[in-house]
């Protein structure tokens, strides 16, 4: 056994900085000239949106701890205050690069394609007249300037909304002298306004809402002298703080907290680089922020608003090539003939679906068939992120109205989907569905559906398990595996999980599945340790795992032990990774890769060679502390040999061969794109060709 202490801080990377490293990789996709231009713009916007959420959640949490005097130490040995300083340094560099890329690369490239953001100082007389008419007809009626004086204190400004600080001189109609006013951009209007081609002088001309307000803000203060007008935006803490044990009605409590989320504690102030110091200091004082919370940006204060340009411009040559999702062979042959019962097909063999390359429609079709099948007695489903008007919800409503026993376990606390989930709960409850909200203190994150069907004298269970959500949009953009099966052992395991979620009692022993928070964490460590023991006994140890995040310290330590024993480990980690690969005597047998592309990599796949008797699981859970110990998660084995081979190839080996969208993690926490003279290979492109329906 190695004498190296695997708990020492220098064996772990900082969680927050690792998250920022992921966002840096998203930004680098925007800088990649091999990607279509409008998709590059979209990646830039995603990196901006990701940064917003990072401040709303992670920075907010660290600042809250710091302000409360809790200077906790992370697994990497950094204190909260040290982490905040390092976050600031990394964010400064990222934001500077974001705006430089926009100004120096993306906008000039868009101009060559006839796509212009028309700047205020460059408007022609005809364009200025059009903008003035737009201001007076669309903006002026809904703008509400707020003068700041003793009768008009500084307003409560909504999280991430565009605002303007205005500096004034003179007296108003009541003889009042004032220095400052606030103008809020209407949330009801888009931030990017298309201008008619004959006015713009180009095929696609756009005007920023901020430019329009800036140009004519003086009309809101007649008779006053306008000295300055500068845009700003405040980012607030968006975590919901619920004392669940003391809450009698979780839905009402969540709804109440949502009202306050928009006005949470301020954590970041963004202003234009041209905003003078005395105005930024004034704003910092109003939001109770420090100079370290101020970010000056060279352009509009919310880059994410530019994403609407990609949607508005109909230039398919500047976007990813469209594709049609395919179907597995058995379902494809069935679709070409007379569509039959999915229950009959699943009885013959398990069905593996690989989204978005393969359609999510079979899952919805199964649910719709169950809703009208006279032999179906009950349907139970977990819903984490689902829009209230989705086909999934329509089927559950229809099933309830047809007299089925329908149970929906809705996770109200799915971050930033809480309001939609409350609407979803209301709709299902009104239709007669039994709606429950899971277990107090544990988010229900597992993705599973159970259908109970009477077949002769038997009651059979049909199950869908997946690595992703039942969301009609994310199924088109997230890579996930889903499995349809009537395996009786899996069916019984899923039944037992639902019993835990809706009732009470001790957790029963699972036959095939692993489940958080009871057996998943321990089970994964045992599987890792088994590979290590095999390697110590002279056999070849092999682990390949793919996930969104790796942070849980005991899992990392188990991987280090396996590496020390000689196990070859490949980790495909899209986002956070706190493990350090390539450390002599600790992790030289571990390789960590992050693959990004057209779709968001969302699989959770865990493969263990097990001396030739290989074991492969798909899961709803990452190797994160929250997933393994504080959530209800499912981890299911792929038992069919052909399907196991598919997951191994499509979900792991193709990604290990990718040399176009890959970054390798170094022991110092930096990610590098490997240079290769080999033929370019993209896992996502190959999967579109292999599985797509084109």
At 331-387, the pLDDT tens digits run 865 554 555 789 999 999 999 999 999 999 999 999 999 999 999 999 999 998 887
Separation CA 188–CA 656 (nearest Å): 46
Separation CA 192–CA 210 (nearest Å): 9
Q: Taking 70 as the threshold, does the pLDDT of residue 266 lie above it? A: yes
Separation CA 569–CA 621 (nearest Å): 19
Q: Taking 50 as the threshold, does the pLDDT of residue 243 lie above it? A: no
| H/E run at residue 296 | strand 294-297
At 204 the three-state DSSP class reads strand
Q: Among 74-88, 335-349, 467-481, where is mean pLDDT lowest?
A: 335-349
Check if the beta carbon of residue 514 is closer than 8 Å to that of residue 620.
no
Q: How far is CA 134 from CA 145, 166, 305, in A?
A: 18, 21, 19
Separation CA 689–CA 694 (nearest Å): 8
Separation CA 213–CA 218 (nearest Å): 9
Q: Taking 90 as the threshold, does the pLDDT of residue 276 lie above it? A: yes
Plot region of 574 (φ>0 → left; ψ -120 to 50 → alpha; else → beta): alpha
Separation CA 433–CA 428 (nearest Å): 5
Beta pairing, strands 434-436 & 405-410: parallel
Transcribe 648-685 into DSSP letters. Answer: IIIIIIHHHH--SSEEEEPTTS-EEPPP--SPP--HHH
At 504 the three-state DSSP class reads coil
- CA dihedral angle for residue 328, residue 354, residue 489, residue 502, rounded to 10 degrees: -130
**What tokens were used for 429?**
């409850």
- pLDDT number for residue 385: 82
Check if the beta carbon of residue 76 is closer than 8 Å to that of residue 13.
yes
At 101-145, the pLDDT tens digits run 999 999 999 999 999 999 998 999 999 999 999 999 999 999 988
- pLDDT number for residue 248: 47
Separation CA 599–CA 320 (nearest Å): 11
**What tokens were used for 440?**
């107090």
- pLDDT number for residue 688: 97
Q: How far is CA 15 from CA 78, 553, 666, in A?
A: 10, 11, 15
Active-site residue, selected from the candidate residues 180, 204, 445, 603: 445
At 277 the three-state DSSP class reads helix
- pLDDT number for residue 334: 55
Tokens 């599973």 sit at which residue? 448
Instruction: Quote the mean pLDDT of the chain.
Output: 91
Tokens 């100004």 sit at which residue? 103
Domains of the chain plus CATH, in order, are 10-318 (3.30.1840.10), 329-508 (3.30.870.10), 515-691 (3.30.870.10)
Separation CA 666–CA 639 (nearest Å): 35
> Sheet harboring 294-297: ordered strands across?
146-147, 180-184, 163-169, 225-236, 266-272, 294-297
Separation CA 47–CA 19 (nearest Å): 11
At 148-205, the pLDDT tens digits run 876 678 888 989 999 999 998 887 777 777 788 999 998 888 999 999 999 999 999 9
Q: Based on the residue annotation, tell me whether 464 is a catalytic residue of this protein.
A: no
At 146 the three-state DSSP class reads strand
Length of the chain, in residues: 694
């Amino acid at each position: 056994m190695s004498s190296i202490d695997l708990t020492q801080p220098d064996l772990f990377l900082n969680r927050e900085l690792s998250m920022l490293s992921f966002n840096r990789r998203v930004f680098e996709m925007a800088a990649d000239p091999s990607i279509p231009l409008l998709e590059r713009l979209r990646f830039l916007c995603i990196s901006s949106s990701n940064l917003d959420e990072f401040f709303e959640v992670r920075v907010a949490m660290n600042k809250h701890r710091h302000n409360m005097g809790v200077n906790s130490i992370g697994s990497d040995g950094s204190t909260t205050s040290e982490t905040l300083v390092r976050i600031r340094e990394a964010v400064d560099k990222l934001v500077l690069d974001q705006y430089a890329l926009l100004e120096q690369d993306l906008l000039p490239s868009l101009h060559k394609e006839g796509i212009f953001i028309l700047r205020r100082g460059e408007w022609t007389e005809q364009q200025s007249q059009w903008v003035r008419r737009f201001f007076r007809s669309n903006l002026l009626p809904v703008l509400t300037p707020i003068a700041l004086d003793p009768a008009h204190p500084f307003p409560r400004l909504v999280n991430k909304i565009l605002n303007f600080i205005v500096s004034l001189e003179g007296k108003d109609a009541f003889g009042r002298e004032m220095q400052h006013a606030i103008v809020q951009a209407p949330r009801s209007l888009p931030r990017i306004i298309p201008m008619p081609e004959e006015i713009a002088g180009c095929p696609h001309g756009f005007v920023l809402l901020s430019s329009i307000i800036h140009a004519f803000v003086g009309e809101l203060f007649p008779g006053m002298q306008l000295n300055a007008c500068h845009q700003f935006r405040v980012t607030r803490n968006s975590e919901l703080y619920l004392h669940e044990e003391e809450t009698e009605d979780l839905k009402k409590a969540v709804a109440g907290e949502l009202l306050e989320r928009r006005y949470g504690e301020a954590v970041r102030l963004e202003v234009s680089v041209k905003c003078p110091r005395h105005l930024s200091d004034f704003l910092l004082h109003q939001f109770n922020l420090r100079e370290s919370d101020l970010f000056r940006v060279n352009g509009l204060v919310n880059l994410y608003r530019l994403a609407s340009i990609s949607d508005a411009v109909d230039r398919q040559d500047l976007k990813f090539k469209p594709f049609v999702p395919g179907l597995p062979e058995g379902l494809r042959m069935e679709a070409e003939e007379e569509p039959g019962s999915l229950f009959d097909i699943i009885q013959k063999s398990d069905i593996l679906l690989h989204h978005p390359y393969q359609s999510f429609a079979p899952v919805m079709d199964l649910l719709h068939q169950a809703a009208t099948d006279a032999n179906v007695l009950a349907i139970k489903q977990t819903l984490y992120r689902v829009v209230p008007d989705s086909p999934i919800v329509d089927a559950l409503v229809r099933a309830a109205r047809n007299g089925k026993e329908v149970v929906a376990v809705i996770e109200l606390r799915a971050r930033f989907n809480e309001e939609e989930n409350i609407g979803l709960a209301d709709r299902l409850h009104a239709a007669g569905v039994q709606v429950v909200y899971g277990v107090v203190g544990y988010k229900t994150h597992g993705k599973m559906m159970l259908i109970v069907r009477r077949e002769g004298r038997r009651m059979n269970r049909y199950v869908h398990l997946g690595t992703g959500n039942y969301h009609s949009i994310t199924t088109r953009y997230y890579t996930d595996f889903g499995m349809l099966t009537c395996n009786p052992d899996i069916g019984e395991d899923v039944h037992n999980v639902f019993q835990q979620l809706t009732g009470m009692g001790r957790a029963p022993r699972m036959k095939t599945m692993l489940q958080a928070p009871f057996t998943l964490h321990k089970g994964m460590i045992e599987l890792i340790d088994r590979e290590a023991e095999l390697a110590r006994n002279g056999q070849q140890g092999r682990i390949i795992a793919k996930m969104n995040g790796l942070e849980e310290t005991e899992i990392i330590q188990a991987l280090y032990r396996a590496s020390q024993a000689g196990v070859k480990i490949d980790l495909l980690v899209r986002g956070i990774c706190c493990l350090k690969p390539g450390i002599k005597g600790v992790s030289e047998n571990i390789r960590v890769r992050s693959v990004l592309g057209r779709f968001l990599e969302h699989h959770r796949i865990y493969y263990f060679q097990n001396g030739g008797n290989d074991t492969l699981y798909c899961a709803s859970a990452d190797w994160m502390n929250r997933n393994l110990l504080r959530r209800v998660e499912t981890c299911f084995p792929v038992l069919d040999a052909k399907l196991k081979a598919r997951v191994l190839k499509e979900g792991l080996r193709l990604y290990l061969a990718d040399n176009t969208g890959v970054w390798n993690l170094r022991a110092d926490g930096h990610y590098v794109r490997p240079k290769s003279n080999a033929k370019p290979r993209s896992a996502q492109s190959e999967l579109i060709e292999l599985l797509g329906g084109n």
